[in-house]
């Protein structure tokens, strides 16, 4: 079960329509899910940035310090995903 959750988390975080990292501006654009459940991610890993750095492939090569300091812009949630 844990591997399945890790795989799903990785797929979600690497979907650039839902989450992305702007290298030029050193800014994260993340799903609103990370805003709504921020406390859970902070509790699990200390910050949203620390949590996503474990799964987001585009952050590879970036230092944890630069990711930790990256401001977060939250993207609008696509509610149509729930209509299927």
Furthest C-alpha separation in the chain:
39
Which pLDDT score, from 0 to 100, does residue 77 have? 84
Which pLDDT score, from 0 to 100, does residue 20 have? 94
Tell me the per-residue pLDDT of 9-48, one tens digit each, with 9 for 90 and over: 999 999 999 999 998 888 999 999 999 999 999 999 999 9
Average pLDDT, the chain: 90
Note whether 75 and 32 are within 8 A (CB): yes
Is the pLDDT reported for residue 2 higher than 80? yes
Tell me the per-residue pLDDT of 39-73, one tens digit each, with 9 for 90 and over: 999 999 999 999 999 999 988 878 777 888 899 99
């Amino acid at each position: 079960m844990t591997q399945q959750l890790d795989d799903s988390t990785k797929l979600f975080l690497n979907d650039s329509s839902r989450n992305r990292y702007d290298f030029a501006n050193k800014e994260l654009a993340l799903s609103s899910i990370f805003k709504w459940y921020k406390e859970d991610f902070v509790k699990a890993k200390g910050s949203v940035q620390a949590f996503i750095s474990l799964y987001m492939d585009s952050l590879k090569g970036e230092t944890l310090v630069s990711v930790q300091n990256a401001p977060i812009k939250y993207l609008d949630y696509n509610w149509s995903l729930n209509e299927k």
